[in-house]
Structure 1
Amino acid sequence: MTIPVILDTDIGFDVDDIWALSFLLKCPELDVRLITVCSGEVRYRAALVAKFLTLAGRTDIPVGLGISTKPNPQTHANWLGDYDLDNYPGRVYEDGVGALCDTIMLHQDAVRLVCIGPLTNIAAALQTNPDIVNHARVVGMHGSIKRGYLGAPKPMREFNVVQDIAACQAVFKAAWPKLITPLDTCGTTVLSGENFQRIATSPLETNKAIMVNHYDWFAKIAEWKRMNSLAEHLDVNKQSSVLYDCVAVYLAFASDWATIERLNIEVNDAGETVVSDQGNAIDCATEWVDEDAFLKFLSQRLAS
């Protein structure tokens, strides 16, 4: 039996979301019922999702516009081109938060709510219909517990949390099952060698789209002072960027290659995710059991 899934994504800034979207569509374990977009200019993000779904032959999946927030750079604009969301043959919900609530409540089995962006939409959904906590499980890419970006030996404030701290606090406090991949595990997830070349040389249109956005994203971040070190750390022709969000997609249906610990996590007002007696019980992927196996699996799924 497949698992019903809703994806909530901030696709179009960091490039890992488009990798995660493709991975999601390649997982037969998961039945994608809705994709909502969050943060920044949501019509741009929805258009990216719609164009990719069209390319993948998955226009059966509806797209929902979430809550717009302060804009951030549109790193996928070149690939998007003049694509118009109005031309998407599938269904587009202007009220993505309402569609998210309705989709959750339609299912008797718990929907996996895969959250790979700031939690603005999810917090709004909790306010719209608090009963969704009884019908969904949250799987997210959020936080940093013992390690930070690129495996740094100390926790750091993680982007998705910091972009909407209050929303993350609300979602983490809500009484639904929660499973996250913090930077401790997802912060080192890079395809290289054969795993990367399998995608870079793939004839599939979805993988060609990934690679266009891969190169465009690296070109963009090379212009940003804050991202220079990352651009220098990774070789654009030999490896992917850090594919944080792909780990959350994997955890929606399996966890064999990761160590899962139930920890009491508090999101403080600085956006730090700390283990605390005042925290809420959250299952956290804190270590890899076999990261190499996951990376090979991810690459093979994307190339399939």
Structure 2
Amino acid sequence: MSEELNRERQELAGLAQRFGLPQTVAGDPFPPSQEGAPLIIDTDAGGDPTDVIALVAAAAEPTLTLVSTVDELGGRRARFVRHLLDLLGREDVRVVAGADLGERRMDCIAGLVPDSVEPQRTDLAGTVAEVVTNADDLVRWVGMGPATNLAALLTENPSLAERLVVTQMGGALNHRDPDRADHNFRLDPAAANILLTKGKLPKLVLSDTTFTPELEIAEDSGFYRRLATAEPAWAKLVTAHMAQWFDRFHPGTIQHDGLALAAGLQLPYVALRRERVVLDDIGRMTTAPDGNLARISVKADHRAFLAWLTRRLDTALEETP
């Protein structure tokens, strides 16, 4: 489909040039479809429940192959993800415990993982290499936490940049606090910079696009009440996790990571444009003529996205015993 659309764009542009008409074809070319490509999710699930809600949506993707965790809690995030995926019927998806940044504040999974869930493997580089080797072409990578794991992979094996189609939740051109970067870039600014310098045209879903009350799921919302009264074990786990977040941090969770997932799946909810950007030492982003080229989010159809996310949730509730 994207190839056909791009041919039509070129034909229209050629006709306009031939007959001296005003140029009406605007915007970037449509990127090739990555439908069917293996999907890797890199997440700091266990803090803000936005990650876990996105994982429930991602579990419906047959191409979901690997979930890696970042900003680890001594391996507890990976065990939590393993438990969730098992309850969702995705025992086939591998889970790897990634980088531990030593941060322990964002822990909302106390007492939620049975002792029977074993520690997960830690060989991320080898596991990603196996996924890439077995893939016919490209591999989709959706980052929902700090870019630490991806930065390590790109540093160790720069050729991965040619195979990984990277979508990262992170960055802000107009952060609500001018003295800080957004959460994911702030936790590891050096890794975010490597993502921009070594990655190949990454898609950045900025908090400028995601930080809005429209995307908030609150404790009194229908979304949460539907989960809280549902019978499947995975819903009870997610509800207990969200309850810890509401109790310790905030009475709502904004769906930053679900929107990043949608962008990574090339769903039509996020508008992107090419921009050259740079980061300062603490991860704050600005545009610059000599910056690193990325595709950054400029707007999103929040209502349509939430409808999609709700459908994914309802389907999971209906199909899970």
TM over 0.5: yes
Which residue is 2:101 aligned to? 69
Q: Does residue 81 of structure 2 align to residue 49 of structure 1?
A: yes
**Aligned residue identity for 1:282:** A
SS in 1 for 2:306: helix
Residue 295, structure 1, aligned to residue 306, structure 2: yes
Task: Kindly state the Cα deviation for residue 60 of structure 1 after the two structures are TM-superposed.
Answer: 0.7
| 1:80 corresponds to which of 103, 113, 119 | 113
> Contact 1:207 / 1:303 at 8 angstroms: preserved in 2?
no
Determine whether 1:202 maps to 2:202. no
SS in 2 for 1:140: strand
Query: Distance in 2 between the 1:120 and 1:213 partners?
Result: 24
Structure 1: gaps of 5 or more residues: 87-91, 222-230, 235-239
1:191 aligns with 2:202: no
Q: Does 1:108 align with 2:141?
A: no
Stretches of structure 2 lacking an aligned partner (at least 5 in a row): 1-34, 316-321
CA RMSD of aligned residues (A): 2.1
Distance 1:218 1:278 in 2: 43
| Matched pairs, number | 276
Quick check: 108-117 or 194-203, which moved more? 194-203
TM-superposed deviation, 1:155:
8.8
Determine whether 1:117 maps to 2:145.
yes
- The corresponding residue for 2:197 is 173
Of residues 39, 59, 75, the one that matches 1:25 is 59
Identity score, percent: 25
- After superposition, the Cα gap between the structure-2 partners of 1:71 and 1:156, relative to the gap in structure 1 and judged at 3 Å, is closer
The 10-residue stretch of structure 1 (55-64 or 189-198) with the greater mean CA deviation from structure 2:
189-198
Structure 2 Cα separation of the partners of residues 147 and 163 of structure 1: 15
Instruction: Tell me the alpha carbon deviations over residues 255-286 of structure 1, each in whole angstroms, 9 at most, x when there is no partner.
Output: 42222121112111121011112321111112
Work out which of the two has the higher radius of gyration on C-alpha atoms and give 1 or 2: 2
**Structure 1 length normalisation: TM-score?**
0.84
Are 1:260 and 2:272 an aligned pair? yes
Deviates more, 1:196-205 or 1:133-142: 196-205
The normalised TM-score by structure 2 is 0.79
Distance 1:191 1:220 in 2: 16
Answer whether contact 2:278 2:292 (CA < 8 A) is retained: yes
Secondary structure at 2:217 match in 1: coil
CA shift for structure 1 position 24: 0.7
